[in-house]
């Protein structure tokens, strides 16, 4: 349970999504919800020149996380998170990779998956 003071602080800190992205509505990089991001430690832009949300996203990326996880932690819409992460990727602060794909045509693997789901 949060106190009234904590709730007021959260309201005061919240910014509208278009403010967070500087009015941008499209990320400069193609990212999906399952794209994985991780901080590189080689940012071309000093962290103090990034916005508060950029800095929060960068801290979350000290371990490999998905775009969806970053959005959830930032409590921002996914599109806003994608714009923020795109900025970090362009600055060299974050690297991204697509999640590993699974061959869904392998009947043995599909049977193992189905068996696992049935055990739940």
pLDDT in tens, 11-40: 445 566 666 666 676 777 888 889 999 999
Query: Distance of CA 95 to CAs 48, 61, 119, Å?
Result: 19, 9, 37
pLDDT number for residue 48: 62
The pLDDT of residue 56 is above 50:
yes
The pLDDT of residue 82 is above 90:
yes
Model confidence at 85, in pLDDT bands (50, 70, 90)? very high
Q: What are phi and psi of 71, to 5 degrees?
A: -60, -40
> What is the domain range of residue 90?
4-119
Query: Distance of CA 100 to CAs 27, 34, 86, 103, 117, Å?
Result: 22, 10, 20, 10, 20
Residues shown for the chain? 120
Instruction: Determine which helix (DSSP H) or strand (DSSP E) holds 95, and give its type and residue range.
Output: strand 94-97
Residue-averaged pLDDT of the chain: 81
Extract the runs of DSSP E, i.e. beta strands, from 18-75: 36-39, 65-66
pLDDT number for residue 46: 66
pTM, rounded to two decimals: 0.66
Count: domains in the chain: 1
């Amino acid at each position: 349970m949060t106190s009234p003071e904590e709730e007021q602080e959260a309201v005061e800190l919240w910014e509208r999504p278009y403010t967070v992205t500087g009015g941008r509505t499209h990320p400069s990089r193609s990212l999906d919800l399952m794209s994985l991001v991780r901080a590189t430690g080689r940012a071309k832009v000093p962290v103090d020149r990034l916005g508060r949300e950029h800095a929060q996203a960068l801290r979350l990326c000290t371990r490999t996380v998905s775009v969806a996880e970053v959005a959830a932690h930032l409590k921002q819409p996914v599109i806003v998170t994608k714009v923020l992460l795109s900025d970090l990727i362009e600055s060299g602060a974050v690297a991204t990779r697509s999640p590993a794909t699974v061959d869904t045509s392998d009947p043995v693997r599909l049977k193992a998956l189905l068996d696992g789901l049935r055990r739940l």
